[in-house]
Amino acid sequence: MAYITCKDLTLRYEALTVQEHLSFTVEKGDYLCIVGENGSGKSTLVKCLLGLKSADAGTLSLGDGLKRNEIGYLPQQSQIQRSFPASVEEVVRSGCLNSHGIHPFYTKADKARAAEQMARLNITALADRCYRELSGGQQQRVLLARALCATGKLLLLDEPLTGLDPLVASELYGILRHIHEDHGITVVMVTHDVENAVRYASSILHIGKDESFFGSVAAYRESPVGQRFLGERLQQEHCNDCEPRFPHIPIDTEGSVQA
């Protein structure tokens, strides 16, 4: 059974219907990128996946042992969030609260898990630093460590590259590939970066105002909506044995901290 199964969803934002008859699945081990035009319902879909909003029609169900509080979520950052006055360690540990219910205190296991995720993302040396003093790339690593504290199964990322320069974005892609391939965590990412979505993802969900697509990256490249959205240049550059634009970046838990 799939981690997430959506059948014939209708999504509305306020009084406006933004999506109808949307169906897709997320299997264990998938790397799904959700792309599409602004205003097509991507943010509304994220709220549904997190249980913050109900679908207006159709069904959305979780399976294969996945519980709602086991989804690690990395949201879009607002300026207020970037200025949050807490230490890195406090922010990362807060990811453990997702599974606490009414119990607000951290256990030894929570603290150990937070330390493990900080080491995995090479931010242990930043533990006592104030979150708002960090660079954009460091903040994203902190938020990713926080999300990983909430899950060992599925990460849901909403536009994680917004505001990052190309080098930092490439590092984040490398980290996500490491987490997906080496740690077996399923990744669902909403992104405007469609060019790299088709380089890294295993499947694409394109949400359009007039038409949508769900399937493999190869099928998306050949589909009318994929060809229009990717553009002629990317289609011409693609070949079966091409290398990703960004190299694999190993996670050295004992190395220096990178922005």
Domain that holds residue 93: 78-151
Maximum distance among all alpha carbons in the chain?
A: 55
Gap between the terminal Cα atoms of the chain: 39
Q: Do 11 and 138 belong together in one domain?
A: no
pLDDT at 237 over 70: no
pLDDT at 85 over 90: no
Within-domain flag for 195: yes
82: Cα separation from own chain's centroid: 18
Put the strands of the sheet holding 4-13 in their side by side order: 16-26, 4-13, 57-62
Helix (H, G, I), strand (E, B) or coil at 9: strand
Domain count within the chain? 2
What's the rounded mean pLDDT across residues 149-166? 91
Q: Do 131 and 157 belong together in one domain?
A: no
**Helix, strand, coil shares, percent, the chain, to 5:** 40, 20, 35
Q: How many CB atoms lie within 10 A of CB 173?
A: 23
Within-domain flag for 45: yes
Is residue 129 very low, low, confident or very high in pLDDT (cuts 50, 70, 90)?
Answer: very high
Tokens matching residue 102: 């009414």
Q: Do 143 and 85 belong together in one domain?
A: yes
CA distance 46 to 162: 16
Alpha helices in the chain (DSSP H): 42-49, 79-82, 88-93, 108-120, 136-149, 166-183, 194-200, 217-222, 224-230, 232-237
Q: Do 198 and 162 belong together in one domain?
A: yes
Is residue 37 very low, low, confident or very high in pLDDT (cuts 50, 70, 90)?
Answer: confident
CA distance 98 to 77: 19
Query: Which of 174, 165, 166, 167 lies closest to 144, judged by CA?
Result: 174
pLDDT at 192 over 50: yes
pLDDT at 232 over 90: no
pLDDT at 180 over 90: yes
